[in-house]
Amino acid sequence: MLWNYYDFKSLRTNNHLEGWHHRLNNDLNNVVHPHFYLFIRAIQNDYAYNSAISSRHLATGILPPRKKLFVNRNARLHNLEERYKQQTLTFDEYLEKVMRLIGIE
């Protein structure tokens, strides 16, 4: 099955969830079945972390930096979408360029 992200402006991966899960596991010291109060403390720590990130974003308007590789790749993908919408690329050309961009041969 092929995922369809054409004209999709939101997140395309679950990397943010993987990061959250890693952070939660670290707070729980990688215990599979933590004590209830240890779990509550980890959730409180997570809430504090997310509140700090949100407050910083609201105060400064700056989000945590993204890797330049992914910023550039997303810009090129957006450019290809625009060219396809303006009909300067055929569907086959668009698909070929997207596949090359994301590493599918």
| pLDDT score recorded for residue 6 | 65
Please tell me the least confidently modeled range out of 6-10, 18-22, 81-85.
6-10
Structure tokens at 62: 């700056």
Please tell me the least confidently modeled range out of 6-10, 51-55, 59-63, 74-78.
6-10
Model pTM?
Answer: 0.55
Question: Helix or strand or coil: residue 78?
Answer: helix
Question: CB neighbours (10 Å) of residue 53?
Answer: 12
- Whether the predicted pLDDT of 2 surpasses 60: no
- Whether the predicted pLDDT of 1 surpasses 50: no
Ramachandran assignment for 87, one of left (phi > 0), alpha (psi -120 to 50 degrees), beta (any other): left
- Whether the predicted pLDDT of 48 surpasses 80: yes
List the chain domain ranges.
14-64, 65-105
Average pLDDT over residues 38-65: 91
